[in-house]
Amino acid sequence: MKAKRIPERFCLGCQESRPKKDLLRIVRSPEGEFSVDVTGKKAGRGAYICRSMACLERARKSRALERSFKSPIAPVVYDMLANELKGLEG
């Protein structure tokens, strides 16, 4: 019996590997615009964080997003992510 491997990605906040479905995908489009990718199918370079405010804060403080995308991240992008997480956490 071959177990189907669940795709995993690293969270930029806690640096732990988690199933993709438990993570929030952040995408930078070829035009350089950041957005939250809820479907996981948007084109562009992606990064992942847990669906948790704590991990977003850690990623913000450690500048992990900047490092991952090799570009500055505007505060509005973090606000957008925070809003998205608030909605998911309910």
| Residue ranges binding Zn ion (CB under 5 A) | 11, 13-14, 50, 55
Which CB atom, from 27 or from 85, has the smaller least distance to Zn ion?
Answer: 85
Which CB atom, from 33 or from 57, has the smaller least distance to Zn ion?
Answer: 57
Tokens of 15: 């640096």
In the complex, least distance from residue 66 CB atom to Zn ion, rounded to whole angstroms:
17
Which CB atom, from 50 or from 65, has the smaller least distance to Zn ion?
Answer: 50
In the complex, least distance from residue 71 CB atom to Zn ion, rounded to whole angstroms:
21
